[in-house]
Every structure is written in structure tokens, then in C-alpha cells.
Amino acid sequence: MTRTIIHTEQAPAAIGPYSQAVRAGNTVYFSGQIALDPQTGTLVEGDASVQARRAFDNLRAVCEAAGGSLGQIVRLGLYLTDLGEFAAVNAVMAEYFQAPFPARSTVEVAGLPRGAAFEVDAVMVLD
């Protein structure tokens, strides 16, 4: 199996020993994206909905670098440090995704890298 590493300057560089995404066949596996500004590498300030927008923008940039789009994502994993932000994050997600929506899990976690309030990972299938 051939693996292709996906990288773009339009999304934050990995902050550890991992790739932004890896393509295997027609499937692309995305590492988690938090609300890091790709230009400065700093976490954007704001609540989970503000951070979700930046994280989804980062995810979209990596999708495009892989030759796809958010519309080709088949699965999302959402991670929140406060499940009380669930409705706000749902509203943001609705700005980025249209029906038919990807499968999704949402999990409350004790902490995320850099003190983020939100993280997203994904799987995309290219046509």
C-alpha cells in the first residue's frame, strides 16, 4: 500500500511527530485540528464556536491540499472540553457541512493540546 503525506502551509504545521493527513488509496485520514492560526501558530482566542470555525477552516485547507473538499468527508470526530458548548459547535458545523452530513462522534475530554476548547479529526473518501 502506498501512503501519501498531505501537507499545506494554509493549515498549522504539526506540533508533534505526525502528519496533517495521510492518503491511502482513495481514503484520506486527517489528524486532529485545533484552532491554531496557520500564520502565527498560536491558538485563536474565543469560545468553542470561535475555535470550531478556525479548526474547520484548517480542516478545509488540508482537504483541499489532498485534492478534496469538506463535502467528501465521511466521518468526523469532535472533541470538546465542555459539552455545554455542543449546540454552539453544531451551529458552526452547519455552516461548513451540508446534507447528507458525515457520520460523527462528539466526545467531552478533560483537555486538548495548547489548552484548546475544540478539536476535530476526519476521514475523507475521494471520488
**What pLDDT was estimated at residue 1?**
76
**What pLDDT was estimated at residue 38?**
97
**What pLDDT was estimated at residue 15?**
86
Q: Which CATH class is domain 3-125?
A: alpha beta
Distance (Å, whole) CA 91 – CA 86: 9
Predicted confidence (pLDDT) per residue in 101-112, tens digit: 999 999 999 999
Domain map (residue ranges) of the chain: 3-125
Q: Collect the ranges in the chain with pLDDT lower than 70.
A: none
3-state secondary structure of 45: coil
**What pLDDT was estimated at residue 127?**
87
Distance (Å, whole) CA 123 – CA 41: 24
**What pLDDT was estimated at residue 117?**
98
**What pLDDT was estimated at residue 56?**
98
